[in-house]
Amino acid sequence: MIKQSFSRLVGIFLPVTVYFVSPSIGPRHLSHIIITAIFFMYYISLRIAYLSKRNLLDIFLSINYLFFYVSSGIAVIAMELQQVRLKLDWAFPLTNMYTSLCFSIFSLLIIEFAYLKFLNVLPLKVTTLFKPVSNSAISKLSLISIGLSSIYFSLVPIRSILNSRASAFASLNSSFSNDSGQAAIGLLVAFTKIAPLCLGAYILLNRRARQQNFKLLDYLAIFPSIIAINPISSARYVFLILVVTLGCAVIRVKTDFHSEFYVYAGIILAILVFPNLDFARNESGAFKFLTFSESLNKVANKDFDQVPMGALALQTINSDIAPIGSQFIGELGFWIPRKYWESKPFDTSILIARKNGMSNTNLSMPLWAEGWSSFRYIGLILYPFLLGIFAARIRNASNLNLGSKGMYFFLTGSVFILQRGPLLQATGIVAFGILTFHILGRLERFYQAKELNI
């Protein structure tokens, strides 16, 4: 009950607290954007309370609510009070921030509608026997995970991994200096960072299903992933994939008010901890613990800029730089090196940066804006709808085998990077993780059939 009371109090007072604590340029004012953001935060709080009361607030919905509460609620209020739009190469005059905020809110409504709708109507399949793989198979998977991680550590020294993202990326670049280097780096990261993470989570799920304690070999399989995907040398959103995937594999997250508590705890951590992790972006960075007010300042300027970036996409994207369907084709062919597909579409963020003359092309691009860039109004609805349906299908399948359960946790952890974007950068990581769990699920069914002599 203490957790439930804490959650309700945070839900009631946090929007008001953010409004009065955020740094402000000039007198505080209640613009239509701030009012909409505050109402949106209260809407999320009401939905969280409603779903938790009915045991429907699962981890996928919780992560989505957390992300939108911060990026389309807290960050928007902080931006408006500081009169911040986009501080990239220069401040951009954005005339459609309110439209972007409304589209962001609309995208969350689509996701939760599609997810809850298809979670209820999809038929439940009946399995004759649900049984984890054997201890021998778990040991083999552990050895494979250790072997893949060792390849990464042979190319990226520990000192680089614990130094900064720039240092770790420089070590990878030094190993692949040819024309297809970026594609090779992406493939290497997939096999030596994402695959071991998926294998480690699957091992933990099997141990938990067998009601066994973790073995030494299990820890040896998981520990390299924790070192390789740390918040210093990895992008913070990728680090969150590890936190959610492994966390859900170890801790059983209930769908009642416990999940409600996790959402609000995550929101507070997103404000206080997430901005602090940005110190490792460059080698010259130094850690400094930020106050609540300083954290809100960082949140307003760069950490959760999905709404202003969506606004920039709305006023930049047209048929000249992004013809209908071109970005979607590029996202489907993310795995093809540009060396062999010269006309391959660039990231949406790159197109926007070039159009506006920016040197920084590593920009965020929310999922709904990626849909807009590909199919305009149809894509605005289609992309969030597909995410909701796909997550519901995996959630239903997670009741049948541990491979699908791990896939569900991984996709949930990937919500941050999918909603942050750009999608072309996120597609490789997410697709490879899902493929890894799909293969593990097939392996699981093979072992089950073998034991049943089918």
Q: 19 or 356, which is more confident?
A: 19
* CB-CB contact of 238 with 164 (8 Å): no
Please return the burial class of 332, using the count of CB atoms within 10 Å of its CB with bins 0-12, 13-18 and 19+. exposed
With a pLDDT cut of 70, the percent of the chain lying above it is: 85
Question: Which 3 state secondary structure label does DSSP give 112?
Answer: helix
pLDDT for 451 beyond 60: yes
pLDDT for 126 beyond 50: no
Tokens 């209260």 map to which residue?
42
Q: Is the pTM of this model over 0.85?
A: yes
Q: What is the pLDDT of residue 349?
A: 85
> Average pLDDT in the 197-215 region?
90
Q: 15 or 296, which is more confident?
A: 15
Binned at pLDDT 50, 70 and 90, residue 295 comes out as confident
What φ, ψ does residue 87 adopt, rounded to 5°? Answer: -105, 85
pLDDT for 105 beyond 60: yes
Q: What is the pLDDT of residue 180?
A: 47
> Average pLDDT in the 310-315 region?
90
Each residue's pLDDT tens digit, 344-367: 788 888 888 888 877 777 788 999
- 227 vs 246: CA distance, rounded Å: 13
Binned at pLDDT 50, 70 and 90, residue 3 comes out as confident
Q: What is the pLDDT of residue 342?
A: 74
Binned at pLDDT 50, 70 and 90, residue 281 comes out as low
Q: What average pLDDT is seen over the chain? A: 83
Report the amino acid identity of residue 201.
A
Tokens coding 120? 């209820």
Q: 269 or 379, which is more confident?
A: 379
Q: What is the pLDDT of residue 107?
A: 97
pLDDT for 382 beyond 50: yes
Highest mean pLDDT among 142-151, 257-266, 324-333: 142-151
Q: What is the pLDDT of residue 411?
A: 96
pLDDT for 452 beyond 70: no
Q: 63 or 333, which is more confident?
A: 63
Each residue's pLDDT tens digit, 227-246: 888 887 777 788 899 999 99
pLDDT for 9 beyond 90: no
DSSP assignments along 305-340, one per residue: -HHHHHHHHHHH--TTTS-TTHHHHHHHTTTS-TTT
What φ, ψ does residue 91 adopt, rounded to 5°? Answer: -80, 130
With a pLDDT cut of 90, the percent of the chain lying above it is: 35
Q: What is the pLDDT of residue 286?
A: 55
* CB-CB contact of 278 with 66 (8 Å): no
What residues does each domain of the chain span?
2-126+253-446
Binned at pLDDT 50, 70 and 90, residue 377 comes out as very high
| Cα dihedral sign, 29-32-35-40 | negative
pLDDT for 368 beyond 60: yes
- 97 closest CA partner among 80, 111, 116: 80
Each residue's pLDDT tens digit, 139-149: 899 999 999 99
Helix (H) or strand (E) holding 156: none
Tokens coding 143? 């050895």
pLDDT for 155 beyond 50: yes
Q: How far is CA 180 from CA 245, 337, 340, 383, in A?
A: 30, 6, 9, 29
Q: 231 or 74, which is more confident?
A: 74
